[in-house]
Amino acid sequence: MTHPTVATLAAWVATPRADGTTRHGIRRLFEDDPARFRRYSRRAGPILMDFSKTSLDDEALELLHQIAVESNVFGRRDAMIRGEPVNATENRAVLHMALRAKGGFTVGEEDASAEVAKTLAAMQAFTANVHSGRLVGATGKRFTDVLNIGIGGSDLGPFMAVRALWSDGCPMRPHFLANVDAHAWEALRPRLNPETTLVLIASKTFTTAETLLNATMVRGWLREALGQEDVSAHFVALSTNIPATSAFGVPVGQVFGFRDWVGGRFSLWSAIGLVIALSCGWAALAGMLEGARAMDEHFLTAPAEDNLPLLLALVEVWHVNGLGYTARAVLPYDNRLGRLPAHLQQVEMESLGKRIHLDGHPVGHATGPVVFGEPGTNAQHSFMQLLHQGTTPVPVDFILIARPDHGWADNHRMLLANGLAQSEALLAGRTLEDVHTEMAETGADAATIERVALHRVFPGDRPSVTLLLPHLDPVTLGALVALYEHKVFCLGALWQVNAFDQYGVELGKHLAAALLPEVASGAEPGHHDGSTAGLIAAIRGAWNG
C-alpha cells in the first residue's frame, strides 16, 4: 500500500489502527508506554523538547519522516545554505543563517560572510562610541535613550529580544514606535528627551509608508525641540536601500546595511538588531547570535529523528493536516517573553499563510495555522477556557524556563506549577465520573450535580509540546528563536509553498494608498464596494463634526 501524503494524511488518521483504537488519543499512549516521555523528547543544546503529549506514535512518526524525505526537506535546506534562490518567486537566496555564522556563506559571486563580518564590526564600534559618549547628540549631550522606528520584522524581532533581555542597569533605555497611529507616539513622547534620544530608522526597503511617516514626524519633533534644522546626529538607518537613507539625510557613517537575502521577519540578526546591542549591550546581541548559530549547527547536522526543527514541523503537519487543527497557541511561562508570540505570528503566519504550491497550482491541503499567544499565567485567565473545553482542540507550545533571574522562588514555583498543570490538564481532562464524585464529596445535592456535571467535564487528549530552557539569557533566546525559524523552513518544504515571500500584504497597502486622499481630504470618493463607501461617508461625517 502506498503511504499517505500531506494531502491524504487526514484520511489515514481517520482509519482506526489494527487493534481498533483511534489515532486521536494521547492518554492511552501513556498507559501503554510508561517510557513515552523518554522516547518522545529530544534535546538540542540548552533546549529540551517534549512532544510526548501529542497523539504521535511510532507508526505515525515514521510516516511523517517518510513525507519529509519525499518533500526533500534536507535537500532544500542544503540548497538554502548554498545560497541558491530558494525564495523562487522573488528569485532570492535565503541566508539569515549567514548573519550568525563564523564564515563560509556566498551568494553568487558575493562573499556574504565577509559582508556580515564587516557590518557587525561597524555596528559594534558604533555601539561602543555611543555608550562611551564619543558620539553625542546635536547639543553635545550623551545619548541615554534609543528609539527604534520600524514595523513588522523591523520591530517585532528586536522588540521581542529587548523585552526578554533588557533590565535596569543596561546601557540605554529602549523604545519602539511601529504603528502609524500617532496615539502611540503621543504616549511615548513625554518619556523622551530630544537632546539625548538616538533614533534608529529600521526598514529593509526604506519605502514602508508607516515607518517613513513616523520617522519624518519624529525628525520634525527633534528639529522643533532642539531649535535647529540639522538633527542628523540623532539618526541612524538600518536598511538594504542605501540611496533612500541618504535621501532622508542620514549620515553615511550612521547607515548599517544588509542584503535582500535577509527576509524582513528573519532580520533581527542583521543591522536591524542594532537596538538590542545599544539598549542591552553588545554581549546581548553577540550571545543571541551564538545561540542561533548553535541551533543552526544542530539543524544542519542532527539526523532527522533527533532534529528539533524538523520534529517540531512534523508535529505541526500531524496537527494541521492529520487532525485538522487550524490554530496553535504559544504560551511562554516567562513574562519577559511577552512579545515572543507576536514575533512568531509574523515569522510563521507571514511565511506559511500561503495557498499556492511551488509548482504554481493551488495546494490541495491546509497550510499555516493561526498562531496566537500570551504569557502564562495571564493566558489561563482569558482564552484557556476554549482550549480546555471548546469544540476544536488547539495545540499548544508551552515554553518553560527552569531558573528565574529574581529571588522570588515562591512566584517562580507557582509559575512553573501552572505551566505544567495546564499541559497536564489538557492531556488528562476530567471525566463525568470524576466530576460526580468530586461534587458529591463537596456536598452538592443530586439535582445540582445533574444540572452542572457535564459543564465541568474536560475531554482531555488535547495536545501540547513543551520547550524547556534551563535559563533565559541571550544564548538560549537565540537558540529558541532560530528553532522556530528552521521549523518554518521545514514546513515550507513539507507543504511545498514558498515560505519567504509575502505578496499577501500588498493589496491592502495599495488600496490604502488609493484611499488616503479620500479619507483625509475632501477628494471625491472613488469606486468602492457599498460597505467601504458607506464607511468613508460615516468617517467624513464624524470628522466634520
Rounded distance between C-alpha atoms, residue 487 and residue 73, angstroms: 11
The binding track of 492-511 with respect to ligand F6P, each residue x by CB under 6 A or -, is ----------x--x------
CB closer to ligand F6P, 259 vs 265: 265
The binding track of 106-145 with respect to ligand F6P, each residue x by CB under 6 A or -, is ----------------------------------------
Cell of 191: 518619556
Phi/psi of residue 505, nearest 5 degrees: -90, -5
Residues 333-372 touching ligand F6P, rule: CB under 6 A, are 350
204 binds ligand F6P (CB under 6 A): yes
205 binds ligand F6P (CB under 6 A): yes
Rounded distance between C-alpha atoms, residue 461 and residue 442, angstroms: 26
Query: Considering the complex, what minimum distance in angstroms separates the CB of residue 474 from ligand F6P?
Result: 22
Query: Considering the complex, what minimum distance in angstroms separates the CB of residue 9 from ligand F6P?
Result: 30
The binding track of 206-235 with respect to ligand F6P, each residue x by CB under 6 A or -, is --x--x------------------------
Choosing from 102, 118, 381, 471, the catalytic residue is 381
Phi/psi of residue 333, nearest 5 degrees: -90, 65
Choosing from 350, 374, 485, 518, the catalytic residue is 350
Rounded distance between C-alpha atoms, residue 508 and residue 524, angstroms: 20
**Where are the strands (E) in 425-512, listed by range?**
464-471
154 binds ligand F6P (CB under 6 A): yes
CB closer to ligand F6P, 204 vs 487: 204
Query: Considering the complex, what minimum distance in angstroms separates the CB of residue 248 from ligand F6P?
Result: 13
53 binds ligand F6P (CB under 6 A): no
Cell of 20: 481498533
Which listed range, 132-140, 150-158, 182-190, 454-462, lies at the site for ligand F6P (CB under 6 A)?
150-158
380 binds ligand F6P (CB under 6 A): no
Residue from 476, 503, 500 nearest 488 by CA: 500
Residues 242-271 touching ligand F6P, rule: CB under 6 A, are 264-265
Phi/psi of residue 371, nearest 5 degrees: -115, 130
CB closer to ligand F6P, 151 vs 396: 151
Contacts of 183 (CB under 8 A, 6+ apart): none
The binding track of 301-340 with respect to ligand F6P, each residue x by CB under 6 A or -, is ----------------------------------------
Q: What is the DSSP letter of 23?
A: S
Render 326-354 in DSSP notation, one character per residue: -EEEEEEESGGGTTHHHHHIIIIIIHH--
- Enclosing H/E stretch for 384: helix 384-389
**Residue 149 near residue 245 (C-beta atoms within 8 A):** no
Contacts of 352 (CB under 8 A, 6+ apart): 367, 368, 488, 491, 492, 495, 497, 499
CB closer to ligand F6P, 265 vs 298: 265
Question: Site size for ligand F6P, by CB under 6 A?
Answer: 14
Query: Considering the complex, what minimum distance in angstroms separates the CB of residue 154 from ligand F6P?
Result: 4
Query: Considering the complex, what minimum distance in angstroms separates the CB of residue 268 from ligand F6P?
Result: 10
CB closer to ligand F6P, 25 vs 85: 85
Cis status, amide bond into 207, omega within 30 of 0: no
158 binds ligand F6P (CB under 6 A): no
Asked about 350 being catalytic, the answer comes back as: yes
Residue from 394, 414, 396 nearest 404 by CA: 414
Bridge partners for 329 per DSSP? 372, 396
Residue labelled with grid coordinates 461625517: 541
Residue numbers at the binding site for ligand F6P (CB under 6 A): 151-154, 203-205, 208, 211, 264-265, 350, 502, 505
Active site residues: 350, 381, 509
